[in-house]
Amino acid sequence: MVFDVMKARQDFPILAREMAPGVPLVYLDSAASAQKPRVVMDAMVSMMTHSYANVHRGIHRLGDEATDIYEGARSRAARFIGAQAAEEIVFVRGATEGINLVAQAWGRTHVGPGDEILVSEIEHHANLVPWRMLVQEKGATVRMAPVRDDGSLDMMVLAGMMNARTKMLAITAMSNVLGVINPVREIVALAHARGIPVLVDACQAAVHGQTDVQALGCDFLVFSAHKLYGPTGIGVLWGRKEILDSMPPWQGGGHMIDRVTPETITYAGVPARFEAGTMPIVESAGLVAALDYLDGFGMDAIAAHDRMLHDAARERLARIPGLRLMGGAPGSSNIVSFTLDGAQAYDVASIADKCGVALRAGHHCAQPLMRRLGVDATVRASFGLYNTLEEVEQLGRAIEKAREMLS
């Protein structure tokens, strides 16, 4: 199917906004959060208008309808990532909460003094801090596999860091700073050959191409709906059923119990055991609409569009004197990070903003990677399915303007 970006743009009302008279919005911060198509908003409004109530509680019709929507979203999310059963999908607030859930519920049982959790140098803090918190409590350590200058992992070094004390390998499928895509299938095979389970942070990768947990072979995978053109407040933790079944609950509250007496508690099965309290009900309707929207184009078509923009942006930015492009590992996509000689990243992004170009500047929640790159901050442009080659050119012009003003 040919991807028609101009047609797709019409689905996103916010793109009609002018940031100043005659200055259109060029939104290049989709890796932080993607804009929302009308179908996602409509699905959420429709649920609140017609079928809203709390889920799993009602003896009434609205409660049943809301529960059907919420549980339907679980099946839809399972289909999106090729899970074997809807019960393998745990709804969480986002990728961050999913990783915290695994670090606490799984980690507290399986990690002890002297054990190791293996991560990489390009992880988002969401896939680092929860593990650091766990190991502090347990007297274990987090080890960080280094990356090469282009952001790619050295697989030999990674394999060499796996040992009998490694209790979990937690790795991103795609860097939120460099757009580097890790060979997850190969990494999982290396880890499994040594009996090490693998958690995949698919927060960036899920929007960039097809995610298939069976093909990846991993044990846990997380993603957030808001990066997939869906709402904030809902994300997915997928886990193999047998592993989820073996895990104790994480947060306590309503819905996650089987029976409570003044003296005893027994817990519900999976996934209810991990979904304490009122869940993101309206957001689940938005998630379904977002996944349907994406599948309407096909993830392969979206991935090809992202890659085209990424390659064009690197090529355009490389022509600017004094601009240092980070990363560049073969196969990278969707995200470009750079610095400009003699200029602070924040100043560059502020000038771009005056040109209507929304960029991100900072450490991008990846401070160990910043240290590896030898910088405090970078400017980051990240693309969505609504971005165009003309916008890549506008990015180039905005950075040239920043260079003129700051040097």
Q: Which residues are catalytic?
A: 365
Q: Does 332 bind ligand PLP (CB under 6 A)?
A: no
Using rule CB under 6 A, residue 95 touches ligand PLP: yes
Task: Choose, by CB under 6 A, the member of 37, 94, 130, 286 that binds ligand PLP.
Answer: 94
| Structure token digits, residue 197 | 């389970």
Asked whether the beta carbons of 339 and 363 are under 8 A apart, the reply is no
In angstroms, the CA 280 to CA 232 distance is: 9
Sign of CA dihedral 49, 54, 56, 58: negative
The yes or no reply on residue 126 touching ligand PLP (CB under 6 A) is yes
Minimum distance between the CB of residue 173 and ligand PLP, rounded to whole angstroms?
A: 8
Q: 126 vs 303, which CB is nearer to ligand PLP?
A: 126
> Does residue 283 interact with ligand PLP by CB under 6 A?
no
Least distance (Å) between residue 27 CB and ligand PLP: 16
Which 3 state secondary structure label does DSSP give 405? Answer: helix
Smallest gap from residue 215 Cβ to ligand PLP (A): 20
Among 166, 172, 211, 334, binds ligand PLP (CB under 6 A): 172
- Does position 124 interact with ligand PLP (CB under 6 A)? The reply is yes
Q: What is the DSSP letter of 248?
A: P
Nearer to ligand PLP, 181 or 323 (CB): 181
**What number of chain residues touch ligand PLP (CB under 6 A)?**
12
CB of 393 to ligand PLP, least distance (A): 26
96 part of the interface to ligand PLP, by CB under 6 A? yes
Contact 295, 289 (CB under 8 A): no
What's the rounded Cα separation, in Å, for the pair 40 and 17? 19
Q: Provide the residue type at 356 as one letter.
A: G
Binding part of the chain for ligand PLP, among 139-147, 201-209, 245-253, 381-389 by CB under 6 A, reads: 201-209
203 binds ligand PLP (CB under 6 A): yes
Q: How far is CA 320 from the centre of its chain?
A: 30
Q: Which two tokens stand for residue 252?
A: 């306590």
Please, how many CA atoms are within 13 Å of residue 140, restricted to the half-sphere of its CB?
25
- Asked if 201 interacts with ligand PLP (CB under 6 A), we say yes
Of 91-99, 101-109, 133-141, 183-191: span binding ligand PLP (CB under 6 A): 91-99
Tokens describing residue 121: 């140098």
Element (H, E) at 118: strand 116-120
Least separation in angstroms between residue 205's CB and ligand PLP is: 8
Residues 221-240 that bind ligand PLP (CB under 6 A): 224
Does the footprint of ligand PLP cover residue 121 (CB under 6 A)?
Answer: no
Over its C-alpha atoms, the chain yields an Rg (Å, rounded) of 22
Q: Of 199, 3, 186, nearest to 99 (Cα)? A: 199
Q: Which residues contact 14 (CB under 8 A, 6 or more apart)?
A: 25, 27, 35, 36
Hey, which residues between 14 and 33 contact ligand PLP (CB under 6 A)?
A: none
Burial 148-171 (b: 16+ CB within 10 A, else e): eeebbbeeeebeebbeeebbbbbb
Of residues 232 and 388, the one with the C-beta less far from ligand PLP? 232
Interface with ligand PLP (CB under 6 A), residue from 30, 152, 204, 337: 204
Q: Is position 142 an interface residue for ligand PLP (rule: CB under 6 A)? A: no
Q: Is 333 in the site for ligand PLP (CB under 6 A)?
A: no
Give the C-alpha distances (Å, rounded to integers) separating 331 from 10, 82, 209, 310, 352.
Answer: 29, 23, 12, 10, 27
**Is residue 168 a contact partner of residue 138, using CB atoms and an 8 Å limit?**
no
> CB 102 → ligand PLP: shortest distance, Å?
13
Nearer to ligand PLP, 126 or 402 (CB): 126
d(CA 37, CA 126) in angstroms, rounded, equals 26
Q: For residue 211, state whether it binds ligand PLP (rule: CB under 6 A).
A: no
Q: Which residues bind ligand PLP (CB under 6 A)?
A: 94-96, 124, 126-127, 172, 176, 201, 203-204, 224
